Amino acid sequence: MSENCLFCKIVNGTLEADFLLETENIVAFRDINPVAPVHILIIPKKHIASLAHLEEEDESLMGEIVKATSDLADQEGLAEGYRVVVNTGSHGGQSVAHLHFHLIGGRSLQWPPG
Ligand code: AMP
């Protein structure tokens, strides 16, 4: 837990979010500003600032997040496909410094991004 971290506040319940999934290690909730019909954030409960801050011990946690992302895509009916995005650092467009995987789908998405 990191003080003043938005997503740590969601994890510990001081900021409201409806969890689509919660395990001992991760939670998933809908993005407050969706860019597509389905836009879900999957995050570790542990405060990790970004993908660039992973430690050796986080390996299985990352596996759990990726599997949960795939399962959520199934649950949300994204059979036509979807995109998983992890914005990292300032050049990557990361605005919340708590690692999060965006699951985006429900419409055709353009590539490459801007
Ligand atoms: P990023 O720009 O990759 O760091 O993504 C941060 C995401 O968090 C953005 O898509 C925001 O819309 C989303 N977000 C910010 N605050 C909240 C919140 N309270 N609940 C849900 N999503 C949020």
111 within a domain of the structure (yes/no): no
| Closest C-alpha residue for ligand 1 atom 13 | 31
What is the rounded distance in angstroms from the CA atom of residue 1 to the CA atom of residue 48?
9
* Whole-prediction pTM: 0.98
Q: Note down the domain range covering 38.
A: 6-105
Supply the pLDDT for residue 102. Answer: 98
Q: Is residue 1 part of a domain?
A: no
For residue range 49-78, what is the model confidence (pLDDT) as tens digits? Answer: 999 999 999 999 999 999 999 999 999 999
Residue 14 has what pLDDT? 96
Question: Domain total for the chain?
Answer: 1
Note whether residue 112 is domain-resident.
no
Chain CA centroid to CA 93, Å: 14
CA of 95 to the centre of ligand 1 (A): 7
CA of 32 to the centre of ligand 1 (A): 6
The reply to whether 73 falls in a domain is: yes
Model confidence at 114: pLDDT above 80:
no
User: From CA 30, how far away is CA 38, in angstroms rounded?
Assistant: 8
Which pLDDT value is given to residue 86?
A: 98
CB-based burial, 19-48: b 16+ in 10 Å, e otherwise: ebeeeeebbbbebeeeebebbbbbbbbbbb
Q: Is 21 helix (H, G, I), strand (E, B) or coil?
A: strand
Residues having CB closer than 6 A to ligand 1 are 6, 15, 17, 31-33, 41, 87, 93-96
Q: Which helix (H) or strand (E) holds 95?
A: none
For the CA of 39, the closest atom of ligand 1 is 10
Model pLDDT for residues 19-57, shown as the tens digit of each residue: 999 999 999 999 999 999 999 999 999 999 999 999 999
Q: Residues 79-105: pLDDT tens digits? A: 999 999 999 999 999 999 999 999 999
Q: Where in the sequence numbering do the catalytic residues fall?
A: 100
Residue 113 has pLDDT above 90, yes or no: no
C-beta separation of 40 from 72 below 8 A: yes
